Amino acid sequence: MSKSYSNLLKNNPWIFPALILILLITAWSTRWEYIGEKTFDNGVTYQYKTDSWTGQTWLEKLRSNEFIETPVLNGKTEKLDSEFKINQGNNQSKELLAEEYWQKRNLLTNIWYGAAAITIIWLLIVLRRRKPSS
């Protein structure tokens, strides 16, 4: 590392945790990509989204007082209602596969929360220890 970068980090120790926090926020804001939506006459809306961290496609069922989310297991989109019935436990192997997808998603989400919390604490400690300029 050159001397100027070394001095920059030594004089401004908040830069490194701030950059990590910016990267974490960027990762969170770009996690989901909505790829399709269909609304039926009964007011139910189905939205497809892809988790960029896992590559898994998820299906959201939205109604005025209801929100259900499930992983898309077979990649088919033409049988929306049967997709939910399959994923809700009519087929043991698909239920286990869906559980694996949920666990992976939750693990990565929890890792992100932990990394963000540690980085914020690190940044606050560095800023608190910062000497006032004379």
pLDDT digits (tens, 9 = 90+) for 38-82: 888 888 899 999 999 999 999 999 888 888 898 988 655 434 444
**Inter-residue contact 37 to 45 (CB < 8 Å):** yes
- Residue 71: how many other CB atoms lie within 10 Å: 21
The span from the CA of 68 to the CA of 77, in Å, is 16
Residue 80 falls in which region: left (phi positive, over 0), alpha (psi -120 to 50) or beta: alpha
- Secondary structure percentages of the chain, helix, strand, coil, to 5: 55, 20, 25
Residue 43 is given by DSSP the state: S
Q: Which two tokens stand for residue 127?
A: 């800023």
pLDDT digits (tens, 9 = 90+) for 4-32: 666 766 778 889 999 999 999 999 999 99
Query: Looking at the whole model, is its pTM more than 0.85?
Result: no
